[in-house]
Amino acid sequence: MILNWFKTIFKKKKTHSFIHQEDRDITNLITFLWSKVETSRNASVLKTQVDFFSKSSFEDKIELLPSLYLILEEYLTEKNTIYKYTKRQIRDKISSDYRFIYTYSNCEPIFQDLKKQELTLCRIFLIKILEKSAELVGEFNDVNIIYIKRHLENSNYFENENLIKQKKRLLDFSNQIFTKIKDSLGENAIANIYLIVYKKHFEAYHLLESFTTTLHVIPEDIFSKELTNFPSKQQMQKMLQKQLYSLEEINEKLTKEIIERKKIEEDLKHSEHLKTRILDTAMDGIILVDETGIVLDWNKKAEKILQVKKEETIGHSIYPLVPYKLRQELKNSFNSYIEKGEGQLINKRVETSVPLRNRSIVYVELTIIAIKTKEGYLFNAFFRDITNKRIIENEIREAKVFAEKSAKAKSIFLSNMSHEIRTPLNVILGLTSILQKSDFTDPKIDRTNLDGIQFSAENLLVLINDILDFSKIEAGKLTLHKTDFNIHELITNLSRGFKIKADEKGLTYNINIDNSLPKFIIGDQFRLNQILTNLLGNAIKFTHKGEVNITVNVEKKDPDTITTNFSIIDTGVGIPEDKLHNIFQSFYQVHEPGKYKIEGTGLGLSISKQLIELQGGILKVKSEPNIGSCFEFSITYNRSKLTSSTFIDHKTRTIDKSHNISGMNVLIVEDNKMNQFFIKQLFTNWNINTDIAENGKVALQKLDDKLYDLILMDMHMPVMDGPEATLLIRNSHNTKINTIPIIACSADVFPESKKIAIESGMNFFLTKPISEKALEEILYSLTVFTSKETKKIEKTKKYERHSKNEMIPSQERCCDFSILNQTFENDKKIIQSVLQIFLDETPQDYTSLQSAVKQYDLAITQQKAHKLKSSFKTLGIKQAILLQKIEHAAKEGRDHEYFLQLINSIDNAYPKIITEIKTKIKELTLNSKK
């Protein structure tokens, strides 16, 4: 013993700094694994273990490392819900970043295959038996024991034997150890040594697949002794749950049999620590009381759930902490079980509520079990917090009620929608039927009938647009179009129609606009118009006497922005206070249909609220029944640089009809017979020649036979749809075909449809029903562009006679993006997409053109110039005229020097073109983020 003490004193130790580094490495490994755990209530026990590990000494960390690593690995591979890792993923990470773990002998079996793992677990177990025995009797001088220890510590010793022989040899070693120590300490002591070591071995390695192999090297003499019921893996798990008092009984036996009192105290301390760990890492609250209700134990989870510290409860009665009703049931259950062996709350699962000191309520699921001891009965209560579960159940109930209300609201909406749609349809069908039977002898009546059809069709379109807007908002696909507009004029024009309606009902209609509000601002005028139309329409609809007022004030002024406040006040029927929170719900109507002879879809306020929120505002409402309502909102707009003298309203611009569209040849690609008839009629009125193609395939065939000035292309058709046909047209090698302007025509109003059309190569996009004015504008814009282009060619020819250098002045802009804005109705997303397509595709085509010009390849030069000319025109690039000249020159076979001069002019401008386009994309991107 003295010799061992000297060895311990003079044993070479690791340096202080080296130990610190190892400590950090181990802690970093556990921290890394914990960072991958999905934290939840279920991980609270694991969090406690990780915290305990972090606060432990370096020596304790090494001892706890295998157990905590395996627990974390099991959690990541089996209990993570969002992302489950595989053992391979985890161990590959360990192998690359935390290889130091392989240097610890107690971690060796974790990373071995099953065969080696079985043998290593048995070796480690027997080495720990020898170490534990040496603590009691000192180092063994027995030759056999020294021989056994040396071979157990040499992992290569067993490699040349098969598994059965290896296990047999290990069992033989164990029997020799058992016999030797039994002779020194006695049967009971050696049995307790095996039990103590097995428990620690179990804690460290029980999650390994081959752990139970350890039982194979435990001598039969230990299993056969009645004094020790040596546990299996399954029995050990049950035993850990009943450690509260059984461990103390084991410790009492150990105190009589272990030689040194110091060792007895260490084992008692370990048992108490194990018991505390079991209690404190439990996921449930655990309270142990005696027959009279005196608290004997109270774990950390109980502290957390009931918000009462353990120190306040030990030795005190549990009853003051329990609600009165449960208190009586507990007392009766304890007494009944002691007397009869059964109780109302014993061995059953019940849910109850417990008031806390902060006056809040916690809901718990409670189970009480009875434990029979020599002194009598103990009662162990296990309980878990189910407050969140109760909240979720309540939310589900509320959601069910809300869903039922929504279903009822949608049912009302469908009923109203049916009425709203059928009313104009009834007029349209009725008047159409009358016109079909008319002999047209009374033009005035026929005109009135046609006006009625037009009016009803427009109302129907407004209704459908309302529903489409709602769908866009719900899908998050509605985009705002910011343009310069005259807000004073918008309010005035809007109010003209509503004043007429107000006059018809005998109402006073007042407009109040703040004089400090600038005339021109930048924003989405269409959506502002839509919001005010909804709010003013409701105000007049629900007001039967009195007045309706619209007031526009400046709320805040900044150098670049101006916040404008809008309020609409009426003296109408008002809204009850209990219904105010519902009015912005979709399909909701405050007043029952028919009560006030009021019609509508129930979408207006919902759409208005969401449109305002899209622009950064909030729609507020104040209302009193029979007094009136006030709807108010504010929107921040950008300041405009326009003045009255510079501004031209898009809606009032006139079409330049100085150029003749008569005699144009147009190919109508449309599968619907009625649409064919309608569009053909439109073109016939303009004296334009038309041909019909039922689908894209037929259109391609017609293009082979005849040259057209324009193609009107439906997006969705059988056999071959519009985008597919357009791609084939644009990729055609026939220069007379691949540059024909194409107008997309679709009933799909969502942005994706426009994007597909542009990406396929279409030049314009019209939504159905087709606007005659919009189509006419496109036709005249095409003739104007062609005319201007012709004049530019003539002007350039004249210029050629005076100068060989055709450079365009660098101070001028190369790109005129106003053409894009007009073509795509200022839809910034579509414009940005078109510009990006140009940047992605044009450089390659332009490089090919440069190469063809250099090599004087006229065929490729003509083809590439033609293709690039179309792209340059779309973006309003002035150098399109030079590409036009290159194309014509290639047809005429002009000399090589002429092409080099033209391409040199484009080369000089090309970097500026690319820069302007990139700048525009950046500008659009920044604006979209505002």
Q: 673-682: per-residue pLDDT in tens?
A: 877 877 888 8
Class of domain 391-472: mainly alpha
Is-contact 487 458, C-beta < 8 A?
no
Please tell me the CATH code under which domain 284-385 is placed: 3.30.450.20
One-letter amino acid at 532 equals L
Which residues does residue 346 pair with via DSSP β-bridges, in sequence order? 368
Is-contact 534 605, C-beta < 8 A?
yes
* Mean pLDDT along residues 461-475: 71
Sign of the alpha-carbon dihedral angle for 343, 346, 347, 350: positive
Tokens standing for residue 731: 């990729």
What pLDDT does residue 567 have? 97
Alpha helices for 288-442 (secondary structure H): 300-306, 324-340, 387-437
Stretch among 85-99, 473-487, 729-743 having the lowest mean pLDDT? 473-487
Stretch among 98-107, 468-477, 583-592 having the lowest mean pLDDT? 583-592
Domain boundaries, the chain: 16-111, 112-241, 284-385, 391-472, 479-651, 654-785, 803-929
Across the chain, what does the average pLDDT equal? 79
CA distances from 34 to 1, 46, 845 (A): 43, 9, 55
Widest CA span of the chain, in angstroms? Answer: 134
Q: Which residue has the higher pLDDT, 27 or 235?
A: 27
Q: From the centroid of its chain, how far is CA 773?
A: 43
Q: What is the DSSP string of 684-723?
A: HHTT-EEEEESSHHHHHHHHHH---SEEEEES--SSS-HH
For helices 163-185 and 143-152, give the axis angle rounded to 10 degrees. Answer: 140
Kindly provide the b/e burial profile for residues 190-209, where b requires at least 16 CB atoms within 10 angstroms of the residue's own CB: bbbbbbbbbbbbbbbbbebe
Which residues does residue 713 pair with via DSSP β-bridges, in sequence order? 669, 744
Give the start-end residues of each E strand in 729-790. Answer: 742-746, 764-767
The listed CATH number (3.40.50.300, 3.40.50.2300, 3.30.2010.30, 3.40.50.80) that belongs to domain 654-785: 3.40.50.2300
Tokens standing for residue 148: 């056994």
What pLDDT does residue 724 have? 93
Tell which residue, 875, 806, 884, has the closest CA to residue 842.
Answer: 875
* Mean pLDDT along residues 424-451: 80
Pairing of strands 508-513, 361-373: unpaired
Helix, strand, coil abundance in the chain, percent, nearest 5: 60, 15, 25
Phi then psi for 511, rounded to 5 degrees?
-120, 130
One-letter amino acid at 880 equals A
Give the start-end residues of each E strand in 593-686. Answer: 620-624, 628-639, 665-669
Tell which residue, 859, 849, 869, has the closest CA to residue 890.
Answer: 859
Tell which residue, 357, 382, 362, has the closest CA to residue 371.
Answer: 382
The listed CATH number (1.10.3470, 1.20.120, 1.10.287, 3.30.450) that belongs to domain 803-929: 1.20.120
CA atoms within 13 A on the CB side of 461: 13
Is-contact 508 544, C-beta < 8 A?
no
Residue 12 reports pLDDT greater than 50:
no
Residue 922 reports pLDDT greater than 80:
yes
Q: For Cα atoms 306, 310, 315, give the angle at the middle one, nearest 5 degrees.
A: 115
CA atoms within 13 A on the CB side of 86: 3
pLDDT tens digits along 335-345: 888 888 888 88
Which residues does residue 608 pair with via DSSP β-bridges, in sequence order? none
pLDDT tens digits along 803-862: 333 333 334 688 888 767 766 667 777 788 788 888 888 888 899 999 999 999 888 898
CATH topology of domain 479-651: Heat Shock Protein 90 (3.30.565)
Tell which residue, 196, 202, 201, has the closest CA to residue 258.
Answer: 196
Interatomic CA distance for residues 602 and 803, integer angstroms? 69
Tokens standing for residue 26: 């181990």
Phi then psi for 895, rounded to 5 degrees?
-70, 160
* Mean pLDDT along residues 149-160: 73
Q: Is the peptide bond before 424 cis (omega within 30 degrees of 0)?
A: no
* Most confident region among 113-127, 136-150, 248-262, 803-817 by mean pLDDT: 113-127
Interatomic CA distance for residues 900 and 474, integer angstroms? 56
Tokens standing for residue 386: 């189910």
Q: For Cα atoms 545, 534, 522, give the angle at the middle one, nearest 5 degrees.
A: 125
Interatomic CA distance for residues 775 and 453, integer angstroms? 22
Per cent of the chain over pLDDT 70 is 80
Q: How confident is the model at residue 570 (pLDDT cuts 50, 70, 90)?
A: very high
CA distances from 668 to 721, 722, 755, 765 (A): 13, 11, 21, 14
Interatomic CA distance for residues 68 and 203, integer angstroms? 9
Q: Which residue has the higher pLDDT, 582 or 323?
A: 323
Tell which residue, 806, 804, 754, 744, has the closest CA to residue 778.
Answer: 744
Return the SS3 of 385: strand
One-letter amino acid at 679 equals I
Q: Which residue has the higher pLDDT, 240 or 735?
A: 735
Sign of the alpha-carbon dihedral angle for 322, 326, 332, 335: negative
